[in-house]
Amino acid sequence: MGKALDGVRVLDFTHVQSGPTCTQLLAWFGADVIKVERPGEGDITRSQLRDIPGADSLYFTMLNSNKRSITLDTKNPEGRAVLEELIKICDVMVENFAPGVLDRMGLTWERIQSINPRIIVASVKGFGPGPFEDCKVYENVAQCTGGSASTTGFRDGLPLVTGSQIGDSGTGLHLALGIVTALYQRTLTGKGQKVLCAMQDSVLNLCRVKLRDQQRLERGPLQEYSQFGEGIPFGDTVPRAGNDSGGGQPGRILRCKGWETDPNAYIYFITQAQVWDKVCTVIGKEEWLTDPDYAKPVNRLPKLNHIFATIEEWTMTKTKFEVMDILNEVDIPCGPILSMKEIAADESLYATGTLVNVDHPVRGAYITVGNPIKLSDNDVAVERSPLLGEHTDEILSQVLNLGEERIAQIKASGATGAPVRQAAE
């Protein structure tokens, strides 16, 4: 088997989550990813949310698999010179610094182009050009400004952020697609280009169904929202819809056996129109099959609260897995609410490589999420994240082909860490 991005070399100048998500994916497709980190502390996430003293955090290790790490102080002239050597031999450079940081380093697009006109420079920023373009942005800022928070939660509660890192990891995914597309275009043009993903844009892209609803709202109430059935008028903006489905098939989270003590004893139940007769039969409401008030999906919309309450009387008599088994047998779409504990113990996810156990020399074994994108001709095993500067020597000597004397000079300057002094003669 091959590696999809074999031969592609990535200069990974990223930190925290959005950029590292992108470069980790590229590494899992077989690219050689060289992570440039500041000497001493490296990527700030190495020490954030630490669970084992002195060991790289899970935050870091789960976002930086299959990469090599070189420490370089890019504000040191020798460090900057090494960075430019790397730019010369890399196909892609990925960065997610605050706006203006690269320019302040002297690495304008023009400068990078003059060093390597074939390089693809991919950036994550919080916002695209506009009033907020200079702002620093973290995950939840993007969730709030991309439309997710205003449409998540319950109508009468606060806006909510979601557990899915759609701002950071979501943007990293978008960026990875931009990079491979630009690599493909380069095979035709021979030229590099800039790839920019703004976190606000990525969140909005993932929230497009809510912008759909904003425009539908101008033509009348959103009938699939619970509040329609409850007779609560709509305002002029998309409301929070609780657990209502975002699509055309109504759905809800329903209690299952054990819900009184287990916070995750719930199932997502979808009343897909095509299997409405099966829903009625399974829950023992055969009379709904012939009742004209229930026969057509449009007739059911004002009664969704009653319908789901009736279905819930049935789901509460079974565990979420029993409900899943019974419904799947008759093709009724549903999904148990799985806790992270249940997911971490799911052998089938390990069998596909979606979850992987990795060993680490300092922290020991840990579980990480492997490549969620499966290619039939891409064989890359998930490897642990690098220690800070673990590959500095290897990269200077084997990737940049620098001689011993030059390497000693670079090290003496402090560019790769605390200066290494030459012994007095």
Of the candidate residues 75, 88, 306, 374, the single one contacting ligand CAO (CB under 6 A): 75
Look-up: residue for tokens 């089938």?
A: 348
The residue annotated as part of the active site, out of 32, 168, 213, 244, is 168
Of the candidate residues 60, 97, 276, 308, the single one contacting ligand CAO (CB under 6 A): 97
104 token code pair: 């302040």
| 98 interacts with ligand CAO by CB under 6 A | yes
Amino acid at 315: T
From the CB of 72, what's the least distance to ligand CAO, in Å? 5
Return the closest-CA partner of residue 138 out of 196, 195, 203, 194: 203
Q: Which stretch binds ligand CAO (CB under 6 A): 58-66, 68-76, 297-305, 396-404?
A: 68-76
From the CB of 32, what's the least distance to ligand CAO, in Å? 19
Query: In a 3-state reduction of DSSP, which class is residue 401?
Result: coil
Q: Which is nearer to ligand CAO, 28 or 127 (CB)?
A: 127
418 assigned ligand-binding residue: no
Instruction: Report the first-to-last Cα separation within the chain, whole angstroms.
Output: 54
305 token code pair: 């609260």
181 assigned ligand-binding residue: no
Contacts of 139 (CB under 8 A, 6+ apart): 17, 161, 165, 167, 168, 199
Contact (Cβ atoms closer than 8 angstroms) between residue 197 and residue 46: no
17 assigned ligand-binding residue: yes
Contact (Cβ atoms closer than 8 angstroms) between residue 6 and residue 30: yes
| 168 interacts with ligand CAO by CB under 6 A | yes
Q: Which is nearer to ligand CAO, 48 or 352 (CB)?
A: 48
75 assigned ligand-binding residue: yes
Q: Which is nearer to ligand CAO, 136 or 191 (CB)?
A: 136
From the CB of 126, what's the least distance to ligand CAO, in Å? 5
181 token code pair: 């597309």
Q: Which is nearer to ligand CAO, 150 or 202 (CB)?
A: 202
Contact (Cβ atoms closer than 8 angstroms) between residue 357 and residue 345: no
Length of the chain: 425
Amino acid at 81: A
String marking each residue 3-22 x if it binds ligand CAO according to CB under 6 A? -------------xxxx---
Residue 122 phi/psi, 5° resolution?
A: -110, 130
In whole angstroms, give the CA distance from residue 119 to residue 131. Answer: 29
Query: In a 3-state reduction of DSSP, which class is residue 292?
Result: helix
- Total site size for ligand CAO, rule CB under 6 A: 24
| 345 interacts with ligand CAO by CB under 6 A | no
| 116 interacts with ligand CAO by CB under 6 A | no
125 assigned ligand-binding residue: no
Q: Which is nearer to ligand CAO, 16 or 179 (CB)?
A: 16
Contact (Cβ atoms closer than 8 angstroms) between residue 57 and residue 388: no
Instruction: Calculate the alpha carbon distances from 76 to 83, 335, 399 in Å.
Output: 10, 54, 21
To the query of whether residue 134 is one of the catalytic residues in this protein, the response is: no
Question: Which ranges in 164-302 belong to alpha helices (H)?
Answer: 168-189, 199-206, 208-217, 226-229, 276-282, 287-290, 292-295, 297-300
Q: Which is nearer to ligand CAO, 138 or 268 (CB)?
A: 138
Q: Which stretch binds ligand CAO (CB under 6 A): 25-33, 120-128, 261-269, 404-412?
A: 120-128
| 137 interacts with ligand CAO by CB under 6 A | yes
Active site positions, annotated: 168
Binding-site residues, in ranges, read: 17-18, 38, 72-75, 96-98, 104, 136-139, 247-249
Interface positions with ligand CAO (CB under 6 A): 16-19, 36, 38, 72-75, 96-98, 101, 104-105, 124-126, 136-139, 168
Binding-site residues for CoA, in ranges, read: 17-18, 38, 72-75, 96-98, 104, 136-139
